[in-house]
């Protein structure tokens, strides 16, 4: 996620502006599409015989990707508008996600920073639709873990 920094001396509005949300949501959505496309490319490469003897993924193996959401903004004690979000992240154009045939288990979770000031308060919420949107393109899915939701 792009880290939203508070510029010194710049007043922040008391609630998140639509343009700020669209920027963050667009980045999140692009990352989800890139992740699915990379997994799809991996599946395609694993299905094709290779002269290099690279076993990227054996035919009988499945994939178990983990999707992590990390720290999104720094604390701003004068105004907590980035702490109490009114909008949840979504995946834009989920219909364009590729179908992943080898994914049997996946997890959507937060990724704690190594920063000692890390707190869940800085993590933007993810829409409850995301697991359902993603599961639509995972026909072999047996387990979907969303401990953070």
According to DSSP, the residues that pair with 73 across neighbouring strands are 4
For the stretch 88-130, pLDDT in tens is 899 999 999 999 999 999 998 877 656 666 666 667 788 999 9
**Span 37-54, average pLDDT:** 79
**Which whole-number Å values give the CA distances from 47 to 66, 70, 79, in the listed order?**
22, 33, 52
Dihedral angle sign, alpha carbons of residues 44, 47, 49, 52:
positive
Task: Tell me the per-residue pLDDT of 56-95, one tens digit each, with 9 for 90 and over.
Answer: 666 667 889 988 887 666 655 666 665 667 788 999 999 9
Q: What is the pTM of this model?
A: 0.79
**Among positive and negative, which fits the CA dihedral 58, 51, 33, 69?**
positive
Q: Do the beta carbons of residue 83 and residue 75 sit within 8 Å?
A: yes
| Dihedral angle sign, alpha carbons of residues 144, 138, 27, 81 | negative
């Amino acid at each position: 996620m792009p880290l939203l920094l508070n510029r010194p001396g710049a007043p922040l509005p008391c609630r998140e502006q639509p343009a700020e949300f669209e920027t963050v949501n667009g980045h999140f959505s692009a990352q989800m599409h890139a992740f699915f496309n990379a997994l799809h490319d991996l599946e395609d490469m694993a299905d094709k015989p290779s002269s290099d003897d690279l076993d990227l993924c054996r035919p009988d193996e499945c994939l178990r990707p983990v999707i992590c959401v990390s720290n999104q903004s720094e604390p701003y004690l004068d105004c907590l508008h980035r702490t109490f979000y009114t909008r949840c992240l979504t995946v834009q154009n989920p219909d364009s996600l590729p179908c992943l045939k080898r994914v049997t288990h996946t997890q959507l979770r937060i990724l704690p920073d190594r920063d000692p000031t890390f707190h869940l308060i800085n993590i933007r919420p993810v829409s409850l639709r995301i697991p359902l949107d993603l599961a639509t393109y995972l026909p072999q899915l047996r387990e979907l873990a969303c401990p953070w939701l």
